[in-house]
Amino acid sequence: MRKHNIKITDTALQDIENVHDYIAYELLEPITADKYIRDIYNAIKNLSSYGASVASSERDFLLSQYGSTARNITYKKIAIIYIFENNEFIIQRIIAASMIL
C-alpha cells in the first residue's frame, strides 16, 4: 500500500491547539487533553496509509469550503477535514463533527 505525505495547515494546527486548551483549561482535564491530541495526531498519521480510499465528500459544507477533493474522517466527536492533492493529504480543519452534518 502506498503511503502519502501529510501537511497540516496553520488553521488546522490552531484548531488542534483550541481543542487542547478547551479540554485542559475549560474542562480542567490536562492529562485527557494531552491524550486526546496525541490520538488526533495518530489518526492524521494513519491517513498516509488509507486516506486515499476515503470517498470524496458529498456534503455541501465541505464542497463549498474545500472543493471537490474534500474528505473527512471522524475521531470521536472531531472531524478531520482534508483534501487529497498532488499525491499528498492536506489537513484543512479539525472541527466538531456536528458542524458538517
**pLDDT (tens digit per residue) in 81-97:** 999 888 899 999 999 98
| CA atoms of 73 and 80, how far apart (whole Å) | 5
Under 8 Å between Cβ of 7 and 85: no
Mean pLDDT of 37-52: 90
How much is the pTM? 0.90
CATH superfamily to which 5-100 belongs:
RelE-like (3.30.2310.20)
| CA atoms of 78 and 80, how far apart (whole Å) | 6
Q: Whose grid coordinates read 487542547?
A: 20
Q: What ranges do the domains of the chain cover?
A: 5-100
Predicted local distance difference test score (pLDDT) of residue 9: 98
Mean pLDDT of 41-46: 94
Q: Is the pLDDT of residue 101 over 70?
A: no
Query: Counting Cβ atoms within 10 Å, is residue 77 exposed (0-12), middle (13-18) or buried (19+)?
Result: exposed
| CA atoms of 36 and 78, how far apart (whole Å) | 10
